[in-house]
Structure 1
Amino acid sequence: MNNGKKVVLVVEDNAMIRMGAVDLVISAGYEALEAGDADEAIRIMESRADIDLVFTDVQMPGTMDGIKLSHYIRDRWPPVKLLIASGNAILDESSLPTGSRFFAKPYNDHVIVDAMAHLLL
């Protein structure tokens, strides 16, 4: 196993929630990147080949929401793991890409960290 940290991209338009999620990722021992919307997330993913997991909100401004973003990532970068969170929607798992995990907000930090650890094994 390499000594490099796993890289997690947090995609969240609310700056306070994004900062909290980034802190959570760092405290769990991962490297955190952040994007304010799907377009920025895609630009980051196109510029880096080391992103292991994307943790995205569903409701976001811009050209696509978190569900569309997660399907785009699954199609274009199949190995990337996906965590999806929403405060407004309880999603049918069938609307999510294969292998992704959904969490309702407010989520429990420990549950998110456990899910990241499980996905990043």
Structure 2
Amino acid sequence: MPPVIVLVVEDEPLLRIAAIDMVESAGFEAVEAADATQAVEILQSRMDICIVFTDIDMPRGIDGLRLAALIRDRWPPIHVIITSGHTKPPQGSLPSDMVFFSKPYRETDVIATMTQMAA
């Protein structure tokens, strides 16, 4: 069975490294992006991304919520997990197949959600 590819989108380098470690230690393959613009470039060039794990608050104009909406429109099969330590999406604003975790999140909860999405 091919590995499940998770695109980690996080502008803060230390948090991105921690998220990549979490993803890889759970047995998934991680691809990293420093912002949503880079994430879109990766999504356009790779057809093997299964899950996007993104922060909401990011520089350069496109935040994680706009990225999630773009993924829903252009790549509907991709699952999205959104996280933030500052912003919480309004109740009912996320599509039912997207999951939000507040920072600091419990890694076991995130991994359980990724495992469920990958099934």
Range class of TM-score, shorter chain? over 0.9
Instruction: Tell me the alpha carbon deviations over residues 27-68 of structure 1, each in whole angstroms, 9 at most, x when there is no partner.
Output: 111110000000000000011000000000000001210000
AA at the equivalent of 2:89: L
Q: Which residue of 2 aligns with 1:6?
A: 4
Q: Which residue of 1 aligns with 2:68?
A: 70
Q: Which residue of 2 aligns with 1:118?
A: 116
Equivalent position SS for 1:94: coil
Q: Report matched runs for 1:84-103 at 5 Å.
A: 84-103=82-101
Structure 1 residue runs of 5 or longer lacking an equivalent are none
Find the aligned partners of 1:78 and 1:108 in 2 and give their Cα distance.
26
Equivalent position SS for 2:92: helix
Find the aligned partners of 1:82 and 1:97 in 2 and give their Cα distance.
10
Equivalent position SS for 1:96: coil
Using structure 1 for the length normalisation, give the TM-score: 0.95
Structure 2 residue runs of 5 or longer lacking an equivalent are none
Q: Which residue of 1 aligns with 2:46?
A: 48
AA at the equivalent of 1:57: D
Number of residues paired by the alignment? Answer: 119
Find the aligned partners of 2:40 and 2:34 in 1 and give their Cα distance.
11
CA RMSD in angstroms, aligned pairs only: 0.9
Find the aligned partners of 1:58 and 1:64 in 2 and give their Cα distance.
9
Q: Percent identity?
A: 45
